[in-house]
């Protein structure tokens, strides 16, 4: 079978919680995990929303997830990149461009 994942996944068997927008939670078991996503075993995947948060440590650290596929009791999710990280990269590149502009020699008018 052709592997379409961008990141290789590691087999795990780890308890976690799905945290929904209304702050309700469901326990799940993470069956495989990568930097880009995970396979979750849940009591029923039929009622899962398209997006939710996944926590391994009682809510201290959360990963925003989006459903990629699902069966009756399993769901494949991709991890969304944190907004702060995206904004930070943009800010750093904008700052670097500004410094390059300031440091470049100016032509006389």
The dihedral built from the CA positions of residue 42, 44, 45 and 49, taken in this order, carries a sign that is negative
Contact between 52 and 19 under an 8 Å Cβ cutoff? The reply is yes
In tens, the pLDDT along 65-89 reads 999 999 999 999 999 876 554 444 4
Three-state SS at 87? helix
Return the domain boundaries, the chain: 10-82
In tens, the pLDDT along 1-11 reads 556 666 777 89
What's the pTM? 0.68
Report the C-alpha dihedral over residues 6, 36, 41, 24, rounded to 10 degrees.
-150
Three-state SS at 65? strand
CATH assignment of 10-82?
2.40.10.220
């Amino acid at each position: 079978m052709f592997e379409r994942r961008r990141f290789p996944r590691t087999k795990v068997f780890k308890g976690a919680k799905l945290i929904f927008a209304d702050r309700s939670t469901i326990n799940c078991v993470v069956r495989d995990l990568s930097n880009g996503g995970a396979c979750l075993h849940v009591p029923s995947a039929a009622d899962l929303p398209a997006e939710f948060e996944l926590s391994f440590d009682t809510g201290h650290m959360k990963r925003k997830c989006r459903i990629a596929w699902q069966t009756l009791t399993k769901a494949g999710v991709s991890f969304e990149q944190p907004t702060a990280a995206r904004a930070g990269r943009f800010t750093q590149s904008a700052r670097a461009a500004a410094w390059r502009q300031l440091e470049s020699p100016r032509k006389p008018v």
